[in-house]
Amino acid sequence: MPAVGTNVIRKEGAEKLCGRAKFIDDLSFPDCLHGVTLRSTIPFGRIKKVSFDPSFPWDECTVATARDIPGKNAVQHIETDQPLLVGERVMHPMEPILLVAHPSRQKAYEALRHITVDYEEYDPVLTPEDSVALKAVLRAPDNLFKDVRIDKGDIAAGFAAADIVVEGEYRVPHQEQAYIEPNGMAAWLEPDGTLVAKGSMQCPYYVHKALMLLFNLPAEKVRVIQAVTGGAFGGKEDYPSVIGGHAALLAWKSRRPVKIIYDRPEDMASTSKRHPAVVRHRTGLTRDGRLLAQDIDVLFDGGAYSTMSPVVLSRGAIHASGAYACPNVRIRARAAATNSVPNGAYRGFGVPQTLFAAELHMDRIAEALRMDPAELRRRNLLREGSSTATGQVLRHSVGAADALDACLRRSRYAQKRKACAAWNKRSRNPTWRGTGLSFAYHGAGFTGGGEVFYASKAGLALDADGGVRVLAASTEMGQGEATVFAQIAADALGVPYGWVETETPDTSKVPNSGPTVASRTTMIVGRLVERAARQLKAELEEAAGKVPKSRPAWLKAVRRFLDGRPSREVICQYERPPGQQWDEKTYRGDAYGSFAYAAVVVDLEVDKLTYEVKVTRVTTAFELGRAIHPLFAEGQIIGGLTQGLGYALTENPVYKRGVMVNPHFTDYVIPTSMDAPPMDVVLLEKPYEHGAFGAKGIGELPNDTPAPAVAAALRQATGRWFTELPILPEKICKALHDDKL
């Protein structure tokens, strides 16, 4: 029976359900020390002096500073501008200055209270607007981590031909990934001098590369192992290289295993978040709603170091025009340095920011044209043969119109808009109601030439005991990677799902299949697994005839095939699909192998007494190529939509002088299960020929859609436009009372 397309049992499900799964803080290591971090308390300045209270027993502690780093004091992300520990210049609050390890975690924390840092403070740059105005130079020459320009057609001609021009400005804040398990990492030295790091992470080979640079070690002397990971959502893409470097440095200096586990406030205040952004749109259209010109300006707050900002910005910029075909497009996108905690990856990776603007702007255009928002979208939607802002011509698996129509039908959008309007006319009703629509697309895999550059490898091993192990560095972090890979391998090989396991990522055992990011795991890495399994099947059939169905016959065939070898590994490397082209200099060409498409309709009501917003229903249709595990796909969608609703309505990161001052779940309000509305998910399949079994990546797309739909629904409910997230009851109250209070 094929496994692909069915809801097989999750590989690691029982371990997690029964509490047997060991997260990094559950593991104990002999003679382990606990590491803690002394962090800067100012946004910008210079360290004059660090003093240690002489009455504290420092001989019980290991203290590590920048001077103890044997290699380069730099964290390897895309660039190496971020130091592992402050040398002298402080670029943001919560910046790591030095590390302390002690056998007791509490004593280690206590030690921090006996260290005093004297600073010389400079005037900080706290907004991206101040940064691009060069209020101070944080990064020569222009304070920009990346400056993207996308030009298509003739923007001036487009505006000249337009009947109507609509402008708008949109703002979005930071967003915290809010994984359940905070960042944590352990490190130790093996007797042969190998440096090992184990912990919660998305990208073992990122940490591997970072440790090589920090410790000046060759690849084979560094080993990185993923521990069971309690959620990540992008928040464990770049930061494990920092905390992993810290744990390793303390282990290096103390010659003992060292574990660093953040508590919630430290994790939330000091690790990377979704970039805040300001997005401006100027759009020219014909009277009947055809897009003629889109002029878009995007400004991201990158924080103090580049981390993932260049690629987050790049993805945000490419998606900034929305899922529409417009002949003339100009996009300028910049990510600017500020003296705030660096921002980085969060599920959606720049797209939720720019799509909030693009989609809410479509609603404002529809209103200006007195046109139904769904009709405006339908007239401009990407279709087979359309070209995107980068000039990518979409030829296959373009399910945009299907997703829009399915969602409108399933949600009864048109009837609901009318019913809300009628409800809102009756003044004695206790609420105002609204229904809003948004549409999104999301390219899967690395942007542009990223996949070709990275040349990922993955495959599988057939062992003498008859076991099949999928070999990839892609991590299971709750999304279902271990299960989905086993499904793909089982079907491609022609064996039952139960015969296949997925190896735990460990750089000494698995090839570099790239980071677990960019909605690329199923589509790109899954495809490598599929190819390797088909190759193994061919080899097996050549040696032993048809792949047997019964276990005893299988074992016999495997023995004959291996012929005394302990196992056979087949590894495949990424190959660019024929015809795909990308020019990094001009931003022209095929930005992504494929896009997935989604429409969402949000129904909500606003309490007239308290301005509280209750989302009563979310209906969504996703065109995802092929659902390998439909239940997981639906779970990904529901989870992402819920995070998107939090982004829209409740998650309010309060920043003061470059740092979050509400770094805890009491006051940074993510939705609970009680707040998650009923969700109706429609899956549509238009297989993508280069994805595993036709699958396209959908990990991030759900996060792109809810916020603009919520704002559109609130427009209907309250008659106000809310162009800045989050739309808190306080904002609604103020908008409705502006003249009265």
Partner 1 sequence: MRGDAFSMRVFRPASPAEAVRLFAQNPDALPLAGGTDLMVGWNSGRLNGRAVLDLSRLEEWRRIEVTDEGARIGALATHSEIESHPVLLKRLPLLAEACATVGAVQIRNRGTLGGNVANASPAGDSFPALAVYEAFVHTVSKEGRRSLPILEVFAGVKRTALRPGELIERIDVPFLPQPPARQFFRKVGSRLAQTISKAVGAGLLWLGRGGVVLGCRIAFGSVAPTVRRLRSVEECLHSGRLTPETIEKACAALSSDISPIDDVRSTRLYRMAVSRNLLRAFLTGRA
Among 109, 119, 122, 499, binds partner 1 (CB under 8 A): 109
Cα distance between residue 185 and residue 255, in whole Å? 16
Residue 56, interface with partner 1 (CB under 8 A)?
A: no
Alpha-carbon distance of 426 to 632, in angstroms, equals 42
* 200 conformational bin, left if phi > 0, alpha if psi -120 to 50, beta if neither: beta
Residue 478 neighbours by CB under 8 Å, 6+ apart? 229, 230, 231, 232
Reported as type and span, the H/E element at residue 622 is strand 613-623
Q: Is 265 in the site for partner 1 (CB under 8 A)?
A: yes
Out of 479, 650, 705, 718, the residue judged to bind partner 1 by CB under 8 A: 650
Shortest Å, Cβ 372 to partner 1? 33
Q: Does 52 bind partner 1 (CB under 8 A)?
A: no
Question: What minimum distance in Å lies between the beta carbon of 654 and partner 1?
Answer: 5
CB closer to partner 1 out of 269 and 461: 269
- Nearest-approach distance from CB 129 to partner 1, in angstroms: 24
Q: Are 122 and 304 in contact (CB under 8 A)?
A: no
State yes or no: residue 423 binds partner 1 (CB under 8 A).
no
Q: Which one of residues 675, 720, 721, 735 is an interface residue with partner 1 (CB under 8 A)?
A: 675
| By the rule CB under 8 A, 741 interacts with partner 1 | yes
Q: Which of 16, 46, 107, 537 binds partner 1 (CB under 8 A)?
A: 107
Q: Which is nearer to partner 1, 60 or 667 (CB)?
A: 667
Residue 737 to residue 741: CA distance in whole angstroms: 6
- Supply the minimum distance, in Å, between the C-beta of residue 672 and partner 1: 5
The correct pick among 17, 654, 689, 719 for binding partner 1 (CB under 8 A) is 654
Total residues at the site for partner 1 (CB under 8 A)?
33
What is the C-alpha separation between 460 and 469, in angstroms, rounded? 5
Scanning residues 705 to 734, which ones bind partner 1 (CB under 8 A)? Answer: 729-730, 733-734
Q: Considering beta carbons, is residue 381 or 613 the nearer one to partner 1?
A: 613
- Smallest distance from partner 1 to CB 264, Å: 8
φ and ψ at residue 11, rounded to 5 degrees:
-55, -50
Name the minimum Å distance from CB 182 to partner 1.
11
Among 92, 102, 105, 364, contact with partner 1 (rule: CB under 8 A): 105
Percent composition of the chain: helix, strand, coil (DSSP 3-state, to 5): 30, 25, 40
Q: Buried b / exposed e across 291-306, counting CB within 10 Å, b at 16+?
A: bbbbbbbbbbbbbbbb
| Nearer of residues 15 and 667 to partner 1, judged by Cβ | 667
Pairing mode, if any, of strands 222-226 and 195-199?
parallel
Q: Which is nearer to partner 1, 93 or 625 (CB)?
A: 93
Site for partner 1 in 85-104 (CB under 8 A): 104
Select 107 or 379, whichever has its Cβ closest to partner 1: 107
User: Would you say 89 or 664 has its CB closer to partner 1?
Assistant: 664
Q: Name the residue nearer to partner 1 (CB basis): 396 or 734.
A: 734
| Closer by beta carbon to partner 1, 271 or else 388 | 271
**The tokens 């300028």 sit on which residue?**
332
Nearer to partner 1, 114 or 608 (CB): 608
Contacts to partner 1 from residues 589-628, by CB under 8 A: 608-612
Gap between the Cα atoms of 521 and 499, Å rounded: 21
Among 665, 687, 721, 735, contact with partner 1 (rule: CB under 8 A): 665
For the record, the structure tokens of 560 come out as: 């004959």
Q: Which of 120, 584, 667, 689 binds partner 1 (CB under 8 A)?
A: 667
Report the nearest approach of partner 1 to the CB of residue 440 (Å): 25
Residue in 430, 552, 566, 578 binding partner 1, rule: CB under 8 A: 430
Closest alpha carbon to 711 in 62, 188, 168, 101: 168
Q: Which two tokens stand for residue 185?
A: 């990492």
- Whether the Cβ atoms of residue 471 and residue 458 lie closer than 8 Å to each other: yes
d(CA 435, CA 204): 43
| Nearest-angstrom CA–CA distance, 506 and 504 | 6
Minimum distance, C-beta of residue 304 to partner 1, in the bound complex (Å): 23
Binding of partner 1 at residue 661 (CB under 8 A)?
yes
Among residues 22, 672, 678, 689, the one that binds partner 1 under rule CB under 8 A: 672
Q: Give the interface segment with partner 1, choosing from 107-115, 249-257, 435-443, 580-588 (CB under 8 A).
A: 107-115
Q: Which two tokens stand for residue 203?
A: 């990208």
Please name the amino acid found at residue 191.
Answer: P
Contact track, partner 1, 555-594, x by CB under 8 A: ----------------------------------------
Among 110, 402, 463, 506, binds partner 1 (CB under 8 A): 110
* Straight-line distance from the first to the last Cα atom of the chain, in angstroms, rounded to the nearest whole number: 67
φ/ψ of residue 98, rounded to 5: -150, 170
CA distance to 147, 296, 351, 642, per residue, from 442 (Å) = 21, 18, 8, 18
Residue 60 near partner 1 by CB under 8 A:
no
Could you give phi then psi for residue 694, rounded to 5 degrees?
90, 0
- The values of phi and psi at residue 522, to 5°, are -70, -50
Query: d(Cα 447, Cα 219) in Å, to the nearest integer?
Result: 27
- Cβ 509 vs Cβ 501: under 8 Å: no
Q: Give the residue, chosen from 82, 229, 386, 662, that forms a contact with partner 1 under the rule CB under 8 A.
A: 662
Distance CA 147, CA 303 (A): 15
Chain residues binding partner 1 by CB under 8 A are 104-107, 109-110, 263, 265, 430, 608-612, 650, 654, 661-662, 665-667, 669, 671-675, 729-730, 733-734, 737, 741
